[in-house]
Amino acid sequence: MQELSHWINGKHVKGTSGRFADVFNPATGEVQARVPLASKAELDAAVADAAKAQVAWGATNPQKRGRVMMAMVGLINRDMEKLAEALSREHGKTIPDAKGDVQRGLEVIEFCINAAQMLKGDFTDSAGPGIDMYSMRQPLGVAAGITPFNFPAMIPLWKMGPALACGNAFILKPSERDPSVPLMLAELFKEAGLPDGVLQVVNGDKESVDAILDNETVQAIGFVGSTPIAEYIYGRGCSNGKRVQCFGGAKNHMIIMPDADLDQAADALIGAGFGAAGERCMAISVAVPVGEATADALIAKLIPRIEKLKVGPYTAGNDIDYGPVVTAAAKANILKLVESGVAQGAKLVVDGRGFKLQGYEDGYFVGPHLFDHVTTDMEIYRKEIFGPVLSCVRAKTYEEAVGYAMDHEYGNGTAIFTRDGDTARDFAARINVGMVGINVPIPVPLAYHTFGGWKKSGFGDLNQHGPDAFRFYTRTKTVTARWPSGIKEGGEFNFKAMD
């Protein structure tokens, strides 16, 4: 069995806490590796070393830091197949999904090549008599990221890339469920020219998280995960005087208007609802057709599409639509919520509860589920299921449909499918959700825009990647300068000339 490590000061380092977590193969249920769980002492030592390394890295000009990012892009592309295979082996998602995971992280690194442009300050000539005024963006020092299992390449890169490009050192605490890819990315950063100690990967659990939150040297923390943990990290981090951004759960609605292309909408719901086994914070988990006729027609189109979905291990090739969920506990929670939907009166029109895959009976596979006639008081509507379960909530009118998305406690992403421009424009303007798609089911912005949800999906005033990331990982210093221009008389400066 493989024993994984931490990445400290540019090399793999064995854990010393004596505590480990098992890393499973989700397709078989077998333990394939052990990952060390760092103690507070180990975490604090990694932070101290990072702080020393940051001094020289922060003084490196942004153009040179951008060249490290440029080299990193080439290395990720070179190792795409290797990264995707390792990601699929530990997470369970298909190889195409795994490559997409890596690619969306890669795009943020591409954006970070432009660090010199993003870090330019402002300058005002002659703000007053003989006075110039200018601003500088300076690194914070040491920043940290606490990242989830569902995107073990993308989200670490979203955090590491901008933080490092801004001149910070970075402590990454990845998910202990699939830690291999973050360690591989650290190796690639070293190969790209990143100095030792500037990036530390410390594996761990709550003890490590709390150590990050309480360490006085850590100046900023980024987190992605569930809302209860986001609230905990945001509250404790802020109370310790840190800059914190936390992104939590989601319950994303897709409104389908009567004038929509229903084949297009149905295809979009299949990809958005069941891709990656639904383990995405931007997954569409609630379809809201407007009008009974629209709902009946949509359900009729969804059923055969869902029944044709192919579920299996990533090793089965590109013919698989989605793989297992990440753990046995995740599978049990999904099926428990499905049972609650049945008990509370929702109509289970596609029932995946009995799904078994021959030869993989111990794997964490969950069949696809489709509920109709879901109401807003049901658990399957209120809670984030994070699995291959799509709920249909019927709305009589457009206003009622918008109200469902507006009133839900989560506000990560949403979408509307319609041919009417006025309806789409109204929806985009009014909806209290952070990311909006118009005939686009998963509206994840590209790297040069910014990613973030509203309400209980996001905590903090700056989002991930794009210009917001460079604001989050820097402090702005403003300088007001006056250089006296007195006339020298008799070899002495004439201060009167300044009056």
Distance CA 493, CA 215 (A): 50
Catalytic residue among 112, 166, 246, 281: 281
Walk me through the domains of the chain, giving residue ranges and CATH numbers. Answer: 2-248+466-480 (3.40.605.10), 252-438 (3.40.309.10)
* Ordered DSSP codes for 192-211: HTPPTTSEEE---SHHHHHH
Q: Is the pLDDT of residue 337 over 90?
A: yes
pLDDT tens digits along 40-72: 999 999 999 999 999 999 999 999 999 999 999
Edge-to-edge strand ranges of the sheet holding 284-289: 347-350, 369-372, 389-392, 284-289, 252-256, 413-417, 435-438
pLDDT for the residue numbered 486? 59
456 CB neighbour count, 10 Å cutoff: 19
Lookup result for tokens 């825009």: 449
Among 14, 2, 10, smallest CA distance to 42 is for: 14
> Band of the pLDDT at 499, cuts 50, 70, 90?
very low
Residues 6+ apart with CB under 8 A from 248: 225, 226, 227, 228, 229, 230, 231, 410, 453, 456, 457, 458, 459
Residue 161 near residue 187, CB atoms below 8 Å: no
Q: pLDDT, tens digit, for every residue of 274-291?
A: 999 999 999 999 999 999
pLDDT value for 490 = 55
Question: What stretch of H or E contains 48?
Answer: helix 40-59
Instruction: Please answer whether residues 5 and 13 qualify as being in contact, where contact means their C-beta atoms are separated by less than 8 angstroms.
Output: yes
Residue 136 phi/psi, 5-degree rounding, is: -130, 140
Tell me the CB-side half-sphere exposure of residue 432, using CA atoms within 13 A. 11
Q: Is 246 a catalytic residue?
A: no
- Residue 270 — very low, low, confident or very high, per pLDDT cuts 50/70/90? very high
Mean pLDDT of the 158-172 span: 98
Distances (CA, A) of 202 to 129, 185, 232, 390, 391: 53, 13, 20, 36, 38
